[in-house]
Copies of this chain bind each other. A is one copy, B any other.
Amino acid sequence: MTADLLATLRAASSPLLDAARERDGADPLAALRARFALPDGVYLDGNSLGAMPATATAAMQAAMTRGWADGLIRSWNAEGWHMLPVTVGDRLAALMGAAPSEVLVCDSTSVNLYKTFCAAMAMRPGRRGVISERNNFPTDVHILQGAIRGRFPEARLDLAEDDDASVLGLLSADTAVVCLSHVNYRTGRLRDMTAVTKAAHEAGALVIWDLAHSLGALPVDLGAARADFAVGCTYKYLNAGPGGPAWLYVAARHLEAAATPLTGWQGHAAPFAFDIDFSPAETIEKFRCGTPPVLSYIPLMESLSVFEATTIEAIRDKSLALTAFFIELADERLARHGLTVITPRDGSQRGSQVALTHDDGWPIMQALIASGVIGDFRAPDILRFGFTPLYVSFEDAALAVLALERIMETGLWREPRFAEKKLVT
């Protein structure tokens, strides 16, 4: 049945689907869905890889044909290629409450975390405490572990639990840097950025926020929160495509003191003077390193144009409505099958994803994907569903619950083919 399940559900008369479609009819963001090239089926994994902006292919063709093939090296100036890390950063800044010149689009989130962490540690000499969280996205903790081993061997890494109180309980006069995810990648729990940052500052520490799972899904105001540093990717809610360029934020007040450990030529004050001694730029460009991957910026710019056609507040409103709707349906129809909602029911503590747990989460998710509803699985037992308000509908949310309910009722997920492991989960 799998391939036909979604079509069957869609075609069937259903008060639930009628109600969902009615909400879609009243959705002020509904028209933005047409600005994405969406696959058949229901896509609830935009929190892992965002959908493609419909204009991205034409923009990429133009960049390749006009910029690369015809313009060649002249395009570094004529097409503004050289300054893309800054100009695209300025556009991204608007989504995070940052000022222009505080955001740089470059490298990967992991590399940018290394840069900002090393910079922050050097700004708190003598302090040895580093705080992160046990259930952080692994790369954040991995990067800290490697940086501590190689550069700050006297530092000590403490891992907090999911609640903010646990973080605050670890703060001390010895804390140098706190590095946290704004929204947890598994549970979808949202931290109180302002409160945690304030407490860290009172202890004399600096804070690095990882916004990979929040930026583009909800309002972020790094300026109001007095954040010190932040990093994140662009391929989730920001729809820049697989492995799109990441970004970093350095509060303007720290730009003079913060030093990058990755002193590549593009961070030089005058890269095209070809001086052999490194002398950092005075601006956010000091955190550049190598040559920017120009073509990777193209889809991101198309996606930002969609964001610029609405407001992050409207996006948040729809996000909260979608996730509340999904949670309500999950409680009604899936809880009895052992699928438990672990995402906070309090919207103020919730990102834009909903996580369910089940011991057989892996085969259940594979059966769901085979039926045309794409979510993903995160070890050990989490089924994740991302609600990307620019292109996900209430009908999508309802269909996902109906499909999952049918899979649990029929026991479809027990078929051996769904137990097969994959390289990337």
Contacts and interface: CB of A to CB of B under 8 A. Distances in A.
Interface stretch (A13-21, A141-149, A196-204, A326-334): A141-149
Interface stretch (A163-171, A247-255, A371-379): A371-379
A138 B274 contact: yes
A266 B243 CA distance: 12
Contacts of A292: 242-243
Contact of A243 (B37, B118, B235, B293): B293
A207 interface: no
Interface residues of A, number: 94
A215 B272 CA distance: 23
Q: Among the interface residues A114, A151, A276, A294, which one has the most CB atoms of the partner chain B within 10 A?
A: A276
A138 B290 contact: no
Given A242-B294, A274-B379, A289 B424 contact: no
A205 to B, nearest CB: 20
Nearest to A58: B61
Interface stretch (A104-112, A349-357, A393-401): A104-112
A295 B138 contact: no
A268 interface: yes
A94 to B, nearest CB: 24
B65 A262 contact: no
A81 B48 CA distance: 14
Contact of A77 (B150, B296, B422): B422
Contacts of A425: 272
Interface in A55-101: 56-57, 60-61, 64-65, 67-77, 81-83
A194 interface: no
A261 B144 CA distance: 10
B49 A72 contact: yes
Nearest to A53: B69
B39 A52 contact: no
Contacts of A67: 242
A264 interface: yes
Nearest to A242: B294
Nearest to A135: B276
Interface of A: 37-39, 43, 45, 48-49, 51-52, 56-57, 60-61, 64-65, 67-77, 81-83, 107-111, 114, 118, 134-139, 141-143, 145-147, 150-151, 159, 233, 235, 241-246, 260-268, 271-278, 289-296, 299, 369, 374, 376, 378-379, 422-425
